Amino acid sequence: QVQLQESGPGLVKPSQTLSLTCTVSGGSINSGSHYWTWIRQPAGKGLEWIGRVYSGSPDYHPALKSRASISLDKSKNQFSLKLTSVTAADTAVYFCARETWQVIGTTPYNWFAPWGQGLLVTVSS
Protein backbone atom coordinates (compact mmCIF):
# COMPACT_ATOMS: atom_id res chain seq x y z
CA GLN A 1 0.00 0.00 0.00
CA VAL A 2 0.99 3.63 -0.36
CA GLN A 3 3.39 4.94 2.27
CA LEU A 4 4.72 8.44 2.87
CA GLN A 5 7.95 9.47 4.59
CA GLU A 6 9.06 12.96 5.54
CA SER A 7 12.73 13.97 5.45
CA GLY A 8 14.71 17.12 6.07
CA PRO A 9 16.62 18.99 8.76
CA GLY A 10 15.27 18.83 12.27
CA LEU A 11 16.75 22.20 13.23
CA VAL A 12 16.38 25.47 11.33
CA LYS A 13 17.67 28.89 12.37
CA PRO A 14 15.24 31.80 12.70
CA SER A 15 14.74 33.81 9.49
CA GLN A 16 15.99 30.89 7.36
CA THR A 17 14.02 28.58 5.07
CA LEU A 18 12.54 25.28 6.22
CA SER A 19 12.76 22.66 3.46
CA LEU A 20 11.09 19.26 3.76
CA THR A 21 10.54 16.42 1.31
CA CYS A 22 7.92 13.70 1.34
CA THR A 23 8.77 10.48 -0.50
CA VAL A 24 5.84 8.42 -1.73
CA SER A 25 6.29 4.66 -2.07
CA GLY A 26 3.93 1.88 -3.11
CA GLY A 27 2.10 4.10 -5.59
CA SER A 28 2.59 6.89 -8.10
CA ILE A 29 2.36 10.55 -7.24
CA ASN A 30 0.83 10.94 -10.71
CA SER A 31 -2.28 8.99 -9.79
CA GLY A 32 -5.55 10.82 -10.23
CA SER A 33 -7.97 11.98 -7.52
CA HIS A 34 -5.16 12.75 -5.08
CA TYR A 35 -3.75 15.94 -3.69
CA TRP A 36 -0.43 15.87 -1.82
CA THR A 37 -0.65 17.77 1.42
CA TRP A 38 1.37 19.20 4.30
CA ILE A 39 -0.06 19.51 7.82
CA ARG A 40 1.73 20.57 10.99
CA GLN A 41 1.22 20.17 14.71
CA PRO A 42 2.97 22.31 17.34
CA ALA A 43 3.90 20.38 20.46
CA GLY A 44 0.84 19.59 22.55
CA LYS A 45 -1.47 21.39 20.14
CA GLY A 46 -3.85 20.65 17.31
CA LEU A 47 -3.45 20.12 13.60
CA GLU A 48 -2.99 22.92 11.07
CA TRP A 49 -3.40 22.41 7.33
CA ILE A 50 -0.54 24.12 5.49
CA GLY A 51 -1.36 23.46 1.85
CA ARG A 52 -1.60 20.99 -0.99
CA VAL A 53 -0.52 20.38 -4.56
CA TYR A 54 -2.05 18.49 -7.43
CA SER A 55 -0.76 18.77 -10.96
CA GLY A 56 -1.67 22.42 -11.23
CA SER A 57 -1.15 25.34 -8.93
CA PRO A 58 -0.94 24.66 -5.21
CA ASP A 59 -3.35 25.84 -2.54
CA TYR A 60 -2.12 27.35 0.72
CA HIS A 61 -3.46 28.35 4.10
CA PRO A 62 -4.03 32.12 3.84
CA ALA A 63 -1.93 32.72 6.96
CA LEU A 64 1.07 30.99 5.36
CA LYS A 65 0.53 31.81 1.70
CA SER A 66 3.22 34.49 1.57
CA ARG A 67 5.87 32.14 2.99
CA ALA A 68 4.93 28.63 1.83
CA SER A 69 5.72 26.84 -1.39
CA ILE A 70 4.70 23.25 -2.21
CA SER A 71 5.91 21.47 -5.33
CA LEU A 72 5.89 18.05 -7.00
CA ASP A 73 8.90 16.12 -8.31
CA LYS A 74 7.24 13.43 -10.40
CA SER A 75 10.57 11.92 -11.49
CA LYS A 76 11.42 11.13 -7.88
CA ASN A 77 7.85 10.45 -6.70
CA GLN A 78 8.27 13.18 -4.11
CA PHE A 79 6.71 16.45 -3.09
CA SER A 80 8.26 19.23 -1.08
CA LEU A 81 7.50 22.07 1.30
CA LYS A 82 9.49 25.26 1.65
CA LEU A 83 8.63 27.76 4.35
CA THR A 84 10.61 30.99 4.35
CA SER A 85 11.47 33.43 7.14
CA VAL A 86 10.75 30.94 9.91
CA THR A 87 10.30 31.89 13.54
CA ALA A 88 9.89 29.91 16.75
CA ALA A 89 6.15 29.80 15.99
CA ASP A 90 6.93 27.45 13.09
CA THR A 91 8.36 24.82 15.45
CA ALA A 92 6.14 21.78 15.00
CA VAL A 93 5.87 18.21 13.83
CA TYR A 94 5.34 18.36 10.08
CA PHE A 95 3.25 15.63 8.44
CA CYS A 96 2.82 14.89 4.78
CA ALA A 97 -0.41 13.18 3.75
CA ARG A 98 -2.37 12.11 0.71
CA GLU A 99 -5.74 13.79 0.23
CA THR A 100 -8.25 11.74 -1.71
CA TRP A 101 -11.19 13.29 -3.56
CA GLN A 102 -14.10 11.21 -4.82
CA VAL A 103 -17.55 12.15 -6.05
CA ILE A 104 -20.14 9.39 -5.85
CA GLY A 105 -23.38 10.47 -7.40
CA THR A 106 -23.52 14.10 -6.33
CA THR A 107 -21.78 13.60 -2.99
CA PRO A 108 -18.13 14.61 -2.62
CA TYR A 109 -15.94 12.57 -0.32
CA ASN A 110 -12.56 13.74 0.83
CA TRP A 111 -10.10 12.54 3.41
CA PHE A 112 -6.43 12.47 4.47
CA ALA A 113 -4.93 8.96 4.35
CA PRO A 114 -2.27 7.75 4.60
CA TRP A 115 -0.05 10.08 6.59
CA GLY A 116 3.70 10.09 7.02
CA GLN A 117 5.09 9.39 10.46
CA GLY A 118 5.87 13.07 11.01
CA LEU A 119 9.11 15.03 11.40
CA LEU A 120 9.86 17.40 14.27
CA VAL A 121 11.31 20.67 13.07
CA THR A 122 12.65 23.06 15.69
CA VAL A 123 13.34 26.69 14.87
CA SER A 124 16.13 27.90 17.10
CA SER A 125 19.48 29.63 16.89
Partner 1 sequence: DFQMTQSPSSLSASVGDRVTITCQASQDIATYLNWYQQKPGKSPKLLIYSASNLEAGVPSRFSGGGSGTDFSFTISSLQPEDIATYYCQQYEDLPYTFGQGTKLEI
Select the residue interacting with partner 1 from 57, 62, 75, 124 (CB under 8 A). 62
**DSSP structural state of residue 9:** -
> What would the x/- binding string for partner 1 be over residues 30 to 49, using CB under 8 A?
----------------xxxx
Select the residue interacting with partner 1 from 21, 59, 69, 77 (CB under 8 A). 59
Residue 1 sits in the site that holds partner 1 (CB under 8 A)? no
| 11-12/119-123 β-pairing | parallel
Q: Applying CB under 8 A, which residues contact partner 1? A: 46-49, 59, 61-62, 95, 97, 107-113, 115-118
